[in-house]
Amino acid sequence: MSVTATVFVQYPIQSGLLADNDAPRRHQIEQAEQFNDLLADHIMANVEHITTVLRDGQSREQMESLFAGQEADLRDKVQAMLGPDGVAQYLAYSRNLVSVFSAGEFKEKWESRSK
Global confidence as pTM = 0.64
Contact 44, 83 (CB under 8 A): no
Q: Which residues contact 11 (CB under 8 A, 6 or more apart)?
A: 28, 29, 32
Please give the average per-residue pLDDT across 70-78, as a whole number.
94
CB atoms within 10 A of CB 1: 10
Predicted local distance difference test score (pLDDT) of residue 103: 62
pLDDT class for 94, splitting at 50, 70, 90? confident
Contact 52, 16 (CB under 8 A): no
Tens digits of residue pLDDT in 14-32: 445 555 567 788 888 888 8
pLDDT class for 8, splitting at 50, 70, 90? very low
Q: What is the mean pLDDT of the chain?
A: 78
Segment among 4-13, 33-42, 95-104, 106-115 with least mean pLDDT: 4-13
Q: Which residues contact 113 (CB under 8 A, 6 or more apart)?
A: none
CB atoms within 10 A of CB 16: 7
Instruction: State which residues form the domain around 16.
Output: 5-114
Residues above pLDDT 90, as percent of the chain: 41
What whole-number distance in Å separates Cα of residue 34 and Cα of residue 100?
Answer: 25
| Eight-state DSSP code of residue 10 | T
Tens digits of residue pLDDT in 30-39: 888 999 999 9
Number of domains in the chain: 1
Predicted local distance difference test score (pLDDT) of residue 102: 64
